[in-house]
């Protein structure tokens, strides 16, 4: 989260006497409203005045009613809305010096010296020009008598901070721009719908997605739906691609598939720089192969709809960071853009990011396509490499004689099948025999190999096609070791939740007794609870979070319609409060009660009082999230559960109902197992695909290390690892190390990164709390100091 600069500074006084204006510019993107809401509320929290600038830069130039004071209530109920409620426009007036003079005059008259711009690279470049010219603009305004010297002195410097709002994800320096994830949701919804009709009629479908000159949307869509081919501008196909494409489609049909899917970025080109269009591809497939082929151009549907949970949280985090960056800025601080790198909020020099973004275009124009892919950043490059592995490489004729078994353990979750598919296909590409284990550790009596075609359409399927159980391997250790020997298993891929982690630990501990267990194994975290040590994210958590968020949206709509109503909503998660906290952020909840943050009757009373005050404003509804504690220990006969279990959902509901009499009434909802169901989100599909691929590639290298005297023998700590996302990348950590970081009684890591986001949720709900001021987010660089610029992206 954003952190304030100096320890000891009262965050509620940082903005006193200062004013912030926020505007959205260029193309709209889902999640912009979350960023606007966070900017306004955190700005007000710091004591600053905050102004809306309606209709983007045009409103800045026109002034008057286009620049209005923002209040706490004015951003209520906008979190779930798509687009931008303060409007956006492409403004030619601001491109002229005369237009910028008018904009400067309007800001000076209002005492605004801090400008937050949410838009693409063009909008942010315009903001930097405005900032660079600021002193000269003030001089001109003084000479023309538009402002006084005193006004100019008060507004002597303009601070600029940008947030990138664009569905194209074409801005270098950030892994994800606001709106990209939501656009992927729209695209995948269409792809899933088209897939069913394509299978019915054995059709080939060609889909064109947006992105201008960036292929991110097309590339991730191809990964998320298992497309047969993708065309992106950063990497045009080799000459003769028409023959290669037709051969690939034919092979897919011969292998038993009833459909073909081709994804095309709107800026796709061939090596000569000529466009590759849907119609061109349709004619090619129809004439050469005779397939019934349809082409669909998705268009602006990708910009519409409600923002995903990811975009809401991203917009909220970026909004907080933007306000802090503005209030910490000095005249020497360069204009910055707040950005996402892995799981970290970072600040980057705006013009460095713009420069690298331009360098991508230069690289493509000069035919340096490998450079263009690298310049897009590590995330884009990883996606491209994973896609190439899964889609364009033929399985080798020479086998490795290595058998890799895959099993799912624990509760089912969306994305498990995508991880299995990627692992199976990468394994086959490496020449391994991939074996399916059904029903977790209990089912480690293998029946048959799992093939390339069996997993073909698993990417978009929820649940677990292999079947999964919570049973741990302890009591089956002898049978498991016998089966490992019987089927000559050389490595294990274990996909699942806390039971997968605990079970793998038991198997590692069993190596001393059973030599057959001395094989490399990797655990891929997959659970809605997101409670595994070694990874900031688990497969399935994003899908569950979106399910909760969309349900909360409907409930808020009901509450807003009836007025004076508070809803208590129970989420899953065991003792881990991740879902409740992140759903609280994405749905705009008033409180989220979790195990990790102790609370008592006094806290509940204060929250009731807070809601009572809220009902006196124009916002006459409330939303309370509470995670559910799974009663596993009660079933085992242990009755000493943490005292928090006394504060059940029913207890909280009854308390709110009693204390709120005459002011508001209460309703409760227990969401239950619907959080484990549904088709996986684009994030979970993409994340699972990359995790599955990375796991098998790591195992392949580890097997080479562990091959001694004609057999595999692995008993070192680093031969059994958890593959997880940590801050800015995928890392492998030995189970033995992670054991020390784990609270086994409550099935959670001892340290959880998302707890730092809880103050944001409380501040956005208008609680009077203090932010941690002990840390500081420093400005980072996108371009290293060594030339050439086009080869120095460090993201």
Known binding positions for ATP: 27, 90-91, 120-123
Ramachandran quadrant class, 17 (left: phi over 0; alpha: psi -120 to 50; beta: rest): left
Residue 601 has which token pair? Answer: 């009757």
Task: List, as residue ranges, the binding site for beta-D-fructose 2,6-bisphosphate.
Answer: 470, 527-531, 565, 572-574, 667, 673-676, 747
User: From CA 145, how far away is CA 15, in angstroms rounded?
Assistant: 29
CB contact set of 587 (below 8 Å; sequence gap of 6+): 79, 80, 312, 548, 549, 552, 553, 556, 623, 625
CB 338 within 8 A of CB 347: yes
**Dihedral sign for Cα atoms in the order 343, 349, 352, 353:** positive
Axis crossing angle, helix 180-201 with helix 309-328, rounded to the nearest 10: 160
User: From CA 534, how far away is CA 523, in angstroms rounded?
Assistant: 10
Hey, how many other C-beta atoms are within 10 angstroms of the C-beta on 767?
15
Q: Is 665 annotated as catalytic?
A: no
ω before 692 within 30° of 0 (cis)?
Answer: no
Q: Single out the catalytic residue among 62, 140, 168, 371.
A: 168
CB 114 within 8 A of CB 131: no
**Selection from 686, 672, 728 nearest residue 185 by Cα:** 686
Taking every pair of Cα atoms in the chain, the longest distance, rounded to a whole number of angstroms, is 91
Angle at 58 between CA 56 and CA 62, to 5 degrees: 125
Could you identify the residue written with the tokens 């840390």? 775
Residue ranges in 460-600 assigned as alpha helix (H): 477-486, 498-509, 541-562, 578-587
Question: How, if at all, do strands 591-593 and 621-627 pair?
Answer: parallel
CB 339 within 8 A of CB 176: no
Distances (CA, A) of 761 to 56, 160, 316, 464, 589: 27, 25, 9, 33, 8
End-to-end CA, the chain: 19
CB 34 within 8 A of CB 319: yes
User: From CA 489, how far away is CA 446, in angstroms rounded?
Assistant: 10
Could you identify the residue written with the tokens 């991110």? 216
CB 59 within 8 A of CB 67: yes
From the CA atom positions of the chain, what is the Rg in Å? 27
**Selection from 143, 162, 52, 161 nearest residue 101 by Cα:** 143
Q: Which residues are catalytic?
A: 168
């Amino acid at each position: 989260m954003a952190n304030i600069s100096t320890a000891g500074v009262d965050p509620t006084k940082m903005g006193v006497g200062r004013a912030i204006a926020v505007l959205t510019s260029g193309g709209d993107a889902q999640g912009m409203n979350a960023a606007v809401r966070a900017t306004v509320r955190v700005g007000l929290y710091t004591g600053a005045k905050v102004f809306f600038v309606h209709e983007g830069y045009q409103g800045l130039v026109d002034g008057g009613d286009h620049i209005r004071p923002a209040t706490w209530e004015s951003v209520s109920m906008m979190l779930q809305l798509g687009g931008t409620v303060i409007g956006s426009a492409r403004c030619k007036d601001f491109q002229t010096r005369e237009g910028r003079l008018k904009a400067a005059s309007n800001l000076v008259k209002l005492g605004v010296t801090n400008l937050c711009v949410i838009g693409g690279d063009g909008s942010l470049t315009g903001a930097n020009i405005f900032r660079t010219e600021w002193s000269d603009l003030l001089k001109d305004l003084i000479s023309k008598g538009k402002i006084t010297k005193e006004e100019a002195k008060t507004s002597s410097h303009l601070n600029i901070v940008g947030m990138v709002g664009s569905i194209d994800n074409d801005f270098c320096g950030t892994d994800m721009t606001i709106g990209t994830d939501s656009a992927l949701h729209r695209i995948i919804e269409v792809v899933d719908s088209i897939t069913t009709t394509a299978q019915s009629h054995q059709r080939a479908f060609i889909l064109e997605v947006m992105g201008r000159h960036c292929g991110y949307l097309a590339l991730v869509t191809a990964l998320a739906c298992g497309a047969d081919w993708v065309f992106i501008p950063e990497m045009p196909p080799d000459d003769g691609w028409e023959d290669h494409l037709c051969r690939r489609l034919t092979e897919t049909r011969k292998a038993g598939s009833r459909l073909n899917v081709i994804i095309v970025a709107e800026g796709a080109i061939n090596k000569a720089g000529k466009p590759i269009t849907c119609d061109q591809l349709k004619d090619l497939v129809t004439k050469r192969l005779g397939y019934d082929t349809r082409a669909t151009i998705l268009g602006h549907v990708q910009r519409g709809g409600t923002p995903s949970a990811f975009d809401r949280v991203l917009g909220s985090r970026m909004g907080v960071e933007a306000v802090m960056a503005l209030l910490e800025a000095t005249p020497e601080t360069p204009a910055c853009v707040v950005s996402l790198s892995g799981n970290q909020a970072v600040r980057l020099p705006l013009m460095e990011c713009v420069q690298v973004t331009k360098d991508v275009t230069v690289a493509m124009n000069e035919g340096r396509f490998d450079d263009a892919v690298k310049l897009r950043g590590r995330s884009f490059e990883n996606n491209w490499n994973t896609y190439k592995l899964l889609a364009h490489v033929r399985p080798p004729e020479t086998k490795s004689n290595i058998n890799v078994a895959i099993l799912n353990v624990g509760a089912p979750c969306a994305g498990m099948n995508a991880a299995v598919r990627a692992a199976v296909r990468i394994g086959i590409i490496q020449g391994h025999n991939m074996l399916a284990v059904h029903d977790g550790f209990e089912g480690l009596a293998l029946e048959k190999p799992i093939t390339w075609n069996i997993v073909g359409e698993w990417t978009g399927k929820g649940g677990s096609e292999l079947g999964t159980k919570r049973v741990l391997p302890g009591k089956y250790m002898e049978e498991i070791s016998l089966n490992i020997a019987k089927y000559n298993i050389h490595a294990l891929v274990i996909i699942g939740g806390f039971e997968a982690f605990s079970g793998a630990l038991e198997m590692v501990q069993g190596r001393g007794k059973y030599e057959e267990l001395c094989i490399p194994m990797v655990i891929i975290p997959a659970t809605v609870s997101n409670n595994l040590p070694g990874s900031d994210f688990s497969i399935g958590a994003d899908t569950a979070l979106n399910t909760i968020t969309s349900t909360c949206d409907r409930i808020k709509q009901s509450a807003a319609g009836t007025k004076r109503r508070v809803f208590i909503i129970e989420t899953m998660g065991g003792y881990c409060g991740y879902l409740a906290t992140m759903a609280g952020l994405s749905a705009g909840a008033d409180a989220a009660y979790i195990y990790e943050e102790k609370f008592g009757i006094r806290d509940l009373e204060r929250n009731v009082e807070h809601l009572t005050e809220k009902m006196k404003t124009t916002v006459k509804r409330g939303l309370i999230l509470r995670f559910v504690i799974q009663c596993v220990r009660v079933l085992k006969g242990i009755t000493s559960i943490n005292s928090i279990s006394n504060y059940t959902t029913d207890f909280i509901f009854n308390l709110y109902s009693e204390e709120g009499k005459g002011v508001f009434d209460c309703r409760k909802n227990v969401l239950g197992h619907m959080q484990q169901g549904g088709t996986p989100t684009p994030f979970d599909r993409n994340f699972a695909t990359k995790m599955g691929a990375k796991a098998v590639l790591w195992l392949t290298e580890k097997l080479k290390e562990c091959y001694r005297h004609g057999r595999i023998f692995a008993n070192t700590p680093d031969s059994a690892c958890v593959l997880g996302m940590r801050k800015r990348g995928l890392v492998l950590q030995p189970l033995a190390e992670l054991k020390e970081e784990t609270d086994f009684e409550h099935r959670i890591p001892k340290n959880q990164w998302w707890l730092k986001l809880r103050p944001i949720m409380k501040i956005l709900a208008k609680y009077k709390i203090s932010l941690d001021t002990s840390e500081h987010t420093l400005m980072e660089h996108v371009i290293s100091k060594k030339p050439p610029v086009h080869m120095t992206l460090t993201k």
